[in-house]
Structure 1
Amino acid sequence: MNEGRLARKDLIRAELLLSEAITRYNNNDYDTAEKKLNDLSEYIKVSEKMILPILNRYADKNHIRKWQKMVDETIAESKKKGIPAIIVNKSERTLVLYKNGVPVWTYNVGLGRNGSLDKQRSGDNSTPEGKYRITQKKSESRYHKALLLNYPNEEDRKNFILAKKNGLIPAKAGIGGLIEIHGGGRNSMTYGCIAMDNSKIDHIFKIVPVGTPVTIVGAVDYNNKFSSAIEGL
């Protein structure tokens, strides 16, 4: 979670300031010690402002129920039609391949730089959440092989228009596109795509046809990694 890395930088700065403040205090330099403590407080506030909205999404029961419903519908379609389906769980950083409604392979994946957030617009580096389809298989791409998804779908377009109307995104922002599942390594941070090790995308590429359902969710369990983190705050 790149957002977490940014927050950790502020917390590290705060820790250094605390150490400096203690040193100044022990040397009877009370004015400088007080200033260091004030600066420390600001870094902690910035860190909280950055990380808490993300954690709150993953602790929100309405969000979890919505994600669970999407996953259940996708698995049911796989079982009913006897087709493969893909579920991406952002909190676990996993991609699960289903066949006939049964999970058969689980892969570790990388997400966008701000992948823990839902994509709202072009350039936000977030990984979208929703129900998608594979629209194109690219045997040669910038990142080895790639499976292009139909982002933005109809729901994404509705949310984009509403967000613009409510002033949540810049008026001139575009909705973005070219969201793929691609190679390049699971430890990669992307601009919003889902990254896999090349050997894993090779494997999945042989199995899934164009039209395969791909559902991307934040989490499927109330007790996910992010909700557990917020309980400890």
Structure 2
Amino acid sequence: MPNGSLEKFIYEKNVETNQKLEWETLYRIAIGIARGLEYLHRGCSTRILHFDIKPHNILLDKDFCPKISDFGLAKICLKKESIISMTGARGTIGYIAPEVVSRNFGEVSHKSDVYSYGMMVLEMVGGRKNIDVAVNRTSEIYFPHWIYNCLEVDDELELKGIEGEEDEESARKMIIVSLWCIQTNPSDRPTISRVVDMLEGSINSLRIPPKPFLSPTRSPPRDSSTTLLS
């Protein structure tokens, strides 16, 4: 995988190659990751839940085709099962679905990977960590809420690199789909198969989802280390 991990190309402060990915490439990568997750969730003889979907674990080949890596926290279950038991939270802070931390939010299932995927795609769009967005260079706001507010009032997204209607449509499609993926209630999130359909379909068929009400209570560690909490 000569291009290394996705995180090298999406965080503005980490881009060492001076190669900012075009929106068409970002869009193709988002679809490719969703298809990879769809294979894990539906294509295998047993369903595989990854539990650590994040840019660091997405590797890119010479054509920027994404491959999901690092299955150290993955769990397998019977293909017909949708709910799994878990003794502790697992994943990386910033991408962990609410129900993985507290069962008060619902049961842990394949929808937990969908949440992590949604957070990752929002970071691909914003070019920064999801809790590290500066507004007017003076204050910080939870990125999903900031981007949701822009969509709600049909405001300019002010995203870098957008050069035409096609780029704008790709960006909006990625945003709307990812906001559906990070809905607090797992039952409100689409399956990863539905995510693929939404990304490949017409933007006119996409509705803006309800605003996610969760926001982080504290900043995550500076590194993106994986955690397994018992």
Instruction: Please classify the TM superposition score into its range, dividing by the shorter chain length.
Output: under 0.3
Using structure 2 for the length normalisation, give the TM-score.
0.27
Which has the larger share of strand? 1
Which structure would you say has the larger Rg?
1
Using structure 1 for the length normalisation, give the TM-score.
0.27
